[in-house]
Amino acid sequence: VLGSYVSSNARLRVEMEEKNERLDYLASHDPLTSIPNRRTFFEQAHQCLQRSKRAKNPFALVVIDLNGFKQVNDRLGHKVGDAVLLHLARRLSSGFRDTDFIGRLGGDEFGVLLEPVENAGGVDEVMRRFNPVGAGEFEAGVDPVRYQFAAGAAIYPRDGANVLQLYEAADTAMYHSKKGVPSALIWK
């Protein structure tokens, strides 16, 4: 009886650990794209800020937003819209450095933490490598779907002393980018 109890208890413990890991994953990742969600992105941004303060090493917060995404959903449907989001998330995941952190901030907005980055030139270099990867085209049924994005970046400490200030600066730069050239990168 004792052996059966110990065996059952061990099995239940493993099952509980697996369920807790699954719940942690679901709480920290976007269900559509499987990349970290907004909460996790901003938690990582706060950690990035603390590391940057200690090491006196700049980092950048980049906001990327799809251009005309509402029209994609309205014209082609939400299924195709979801496919566009998934396609961009995959390209983001493969288009940045291993040291960078990517998250879905909500809707058609994504964030990237570039760590480390020396200056605006470093941000520009990373984004130039990503730009041809980020804007894209893929087959959705019989018609190809093309999409473009706008991106804005803010660099710590130049553009803000905290995560909220950095996010707001990057978001403002991204909206300026939307008014200009598609798939452009602008920062303060």
CA dist., res. 64 & res. 130, Å (int): 12
CA dist., res. 34 & res. 39, Å (int): 14
Known catalytic membership, residue 108: yes
From 30, 65, 100, 108, active-site residue? 108
Amino acid at 142: V
Task: Using alpha carbons, select from 16, 38, 61 the residue that is nearest to residue 159.
Answer: 61
Amino acid at 51: R
DSSP-derived pairing of the beta strands 101-106 and 109-114 = antiparallel
The structure tokens listed for 40 are 């996790």
Asked if residues 159 and 188 have their Cβ atoms less than 8 Å apart, the reply is yes
Residue with tokens 């989001």: 85
Helix (H, G, I), strand (E, B) or coil at 146: strand
CA dihedral 152, 158, 162, 168 (to 10 degrees): -30
Q: Give the residue numbers marked as catalytic.
A: 108
